[in-house]
């Protein structure tokens, strides 16, 4: 797993900070254990519902769980109405690895991701009880396996089944795809093809019909979104811009404006004025999602309020 800080992609980030954080995270490899998933719907949790409907679109936040708590996303609410600022929290990130013995793609959770998942009662359920959704992001891991080089529907289905089993077992609300760091070709793997990503999301949707599937609009997958008369937009719920500090509409045919986030913000490096400007463009152009990245434990409610006042007509309250 690698950090999402890419110095060449940060529009407003300080160079020294970006370079330092680029190499901040390294993950050990370990075998993914197979566990028979129980029915997550029967885990006894009670999920609350908001009494007041939040208007102005959804806010989505990635958290680097190697160094920060996912629970930080639940500490921010709208001062007026009390709804959560973040509608979707994303665990960043699990990996798609390559088993050189079986020549198959396998899902891998590093120790920090595993800690969040296995402690779902204290790390995930509390957010869901606030009405939030929790997704697991899947990222390449330099081993040659990626979303774009499955060569058969059978192999795509096998990996999709691993994802679905994980969602079920840990009571998650869905999967996020981030096609970075795959290093296609490593370990004798094939290069990206046009059918792979479409087959993968098609298969995942079949076995996970009511869960969220999102796409971080970046990498080889971003140019391989249709095949055989089917589109990735037919199967995913959301897609967001991947260039922090910028405004760019993901070109995912089949998704409505309400499902797209053209604005992407790095909480630690995107300026307040830029974040506010992106929010204004999002609202004025009628898009329904705003993307945040890299939430830490530092109180950022003043920063968030600048955007929230534009999108939701309310400032933000921080509750430690």
SS3 of 30-56: CCCCCCCCCCHHHCCCCCCCCCCCCCC
Show the tokens assigned to 170: 């840990």
Residue 61: predicted pLDDT: 98
Q: CA–CA separation, 62 vs 88, rounded Å?
A: 9
Q: CA–CA separation, 205 vs 160, rounded Å?
A: 9
For 159, other C-beta atoms within 10 Å of its C-beta total 21
Q: What is the pTM of this model?
A: 0.86
- Read off φ and ψ for residue 168, nearest 5 degrees: -65, -45
214 strand-pairing partners: 176, 238
Q: CA–CA separation, 108 vs 88, rounded Å?
A: 22
Find the DSSP H helices in the chain. 15-22, 111-118, 120-123, 125-128, 153-170, 196-207, 272-284, 301-311
Give residue-wise pLDDT tens across range 27-60. 333 333 333 333 333 333 333 333 345 899 999 9
Which residues are annotated as catalytic? 180
Residue 2: predicted pLDDT: 41
Residues contacting residue 125 through CB under 8 Å, at least 6 positions apart:
45, 171
Residue 54: predicted pLDDT: 83
Residue 186: predicted pLDDT: 98
Residue 189: predicted pLDDT: 98
Residue 250: predicted pLDDT: 98
Pick out the chain residues at pLDDT < 70: 1-53
Residue 271: predicted pLDDT: 98
Residue 310: predicted pLDDT: 98
Show the tokens assigned to 275: 């974040």
């Amino acid at each position: 797993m690698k950090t999402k800080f890419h110095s060449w992609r940060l529009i407003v980030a300080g160079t020294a900070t970006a370079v330092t954080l680029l190499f901040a995270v390294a993950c050990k490899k370990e075998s993914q254990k197979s566990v028979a998933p129980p029915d997550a719907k029967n885990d006894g949790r009670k999920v609350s519902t908001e009494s007041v409907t939040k208007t102005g679109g959804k806010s989505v936040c990635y958290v680097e769980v190697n160094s920060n708590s996912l629970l930080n996303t639940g500490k921010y609410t709208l001062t007026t109405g009390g709804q959560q600022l973040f509608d979707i929290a994303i665990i960043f990130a699990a990996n798609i690895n390559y088993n050189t013995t079986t020549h198959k793609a396998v899902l891998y959770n590093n120790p920090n991701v595993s800690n969040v998942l296995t402690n779902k009662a204290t790390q995930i359920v509390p957010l869901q009880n606030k009405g939030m959704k929790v997704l697991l992001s899947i990222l390449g891991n330099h081993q040659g396996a990626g979303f774009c080089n499955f060569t058969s529907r059978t192999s795509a289905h096998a990996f999709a089944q691993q994802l679905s089993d994980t969602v079920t077992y840990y009571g998650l609300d869905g999967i996020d795809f981030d096609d970075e760091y795959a290093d296609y070709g490593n370990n004798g793997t094939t290069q990206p093809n046009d059918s792979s990503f479409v087959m993968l999301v098609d298969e995942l949707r079949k076995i996970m019909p009511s869960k969220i599937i999102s796409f971080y609009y970046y990498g080889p997958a971003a140019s391989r979104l249709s095949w055989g008369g089917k589109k990735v937009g037919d199967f995913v719920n959301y897609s967001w811009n991947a260039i922090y500090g910028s405004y760019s509409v993901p070109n995912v045919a089949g998704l409505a404006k309400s499902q797209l986030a053209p604005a992407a913000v790095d909480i630690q490096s995107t300026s307040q004025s830029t974040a506010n400007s992106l929010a204004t463009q999002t609202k004025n152009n009628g898009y329904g999602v705003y993307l945040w990245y890299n939430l830490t434990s530092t109180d950022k409610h003043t920063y968030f309020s600048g955007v929230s006042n534009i999108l939701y007509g309310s400032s933000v309250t921080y509750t430690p």
